[in-house]
Amino acid sequence: CKDSVFQVELEHHESSCPESPVSCPFCQQTNIKLARMPDHAKSCDKTPKACPLKEYGCSFVGLASVMDEHLTVKNHVPCFQQLQKGLEERDTEIARLRDQLDTLTNRFKEFSASTDGALLFDKEIKWVVLVPADGKAYDDYSTATSPMYTHVPSKTSFCFTLKSWDGGLEH
């Protein structure tokens, strides 16, 4: 390492410097840079490793040479039971959410029917103002509406506010 450190900090620096040479405590290989130790641990056959089913509750830690033997169904029955329990809980939650969705859908249908209204349009309509002199559309003078619903089923009505081109009164 080419870092400059004070004598008082040298011991700490030597133990934490990424370039510091260390030995693997499991295979005794020497001159491994401290920064490369995690990579070495992954590939070292003598470094104990956690079972791939650790995230499902298996607490086994062992060498690669015994991992295949460990990875049998009989060693993981509790893990599979925990997974099954989790899946059952999810299925229950999905069923509850489906019931809730059905209830809300029915309530919405009942509400819609009870208002005796009619959907005027269900998509956005863009209104564009054309200037008669040149017939061009000007986006600055366009507007869009959201879907509209009326409570009067037999009448279709729209209300517009138009401003004159000279900035005068609204019509």
Structure-derived torsion over alpha carbons of residues 25, 27, 33, 34, reported in degrees to the nearest 10: -30
pLDDT of the residue at 127:
60
CA 15 to chain CA centroid, Å, is 39
If asked whether residues 85 and 135 sit together in one domain, one would say no
If asked whether residues 32 and 89 sit together in one domain, one would say no
If asked whether residues 90 and 64 sit together in one domain, one would say yes
If asked whether residues 41 and 59 sit together in one domain, one would say no
pTM of the model: 0.42
If asked whether residues 104 and 127 sit together in one domain, one would say no
If asked whether residues 59 and 106 sit together in one domain, one would say yes
If asked whether residues 161 and 150 sit together in one domain, one would say yes
Burial tier of 33 (Cβ tally within 10 Å: 0-12, 13-18, 19+): middle
What range defines the domain where residue 38 resides?
A: 1-46
Q: What angle do CA 39, 40, 44 make, to 5 degrees?
A: 130
32: CATH: 3.30.40
State how many domains the chain has.
Answer: 3
| Residue whose tokens read 């990875």 | 71
Burial tier of 27 (Cβ tally within 10 Å: 0-12, 13-18, 19+): middle
In the chain, which residues have pLDDT < 70? 113-171
Alpha-carbon span 122 to 146, nearest angstrom:
8
Q: Of 93, 114, 135, which residue sits at a domain end?
A: 114
If asked whether residues 125 and 167 sit together in one domain, one would say yes
pLDDT of the residue at 168:
44
Alpha-carbon span 60 to 78, nearest angstrom:
13
If asked whether residues 41 and 3 sit together in one domain, one would say yes
If asked whether residues 105 and 125 sit together in one domain, one would say no
If asked whether residues 40 and 55 sit together in one domain, one would say no
If asked whether residues 30 and 71 sit together in one domain, one would say no
pLDDT digit string, tens, across residues 40-66: 999 998 999 999 989 888 999 999 889
Give the pair of three-digit tokens for residue 36: 């490369």
Residue length, the chain?
A: 171
pLDDT digit string, tens, across residues 142-157: 555 555 555 545 444 5
Q: Of 28, 46, 64, which residue sits at a domain end?
A: 46
Q: Judge whether 31 and 21 are in contact, CB under 8 Å.
A: yes
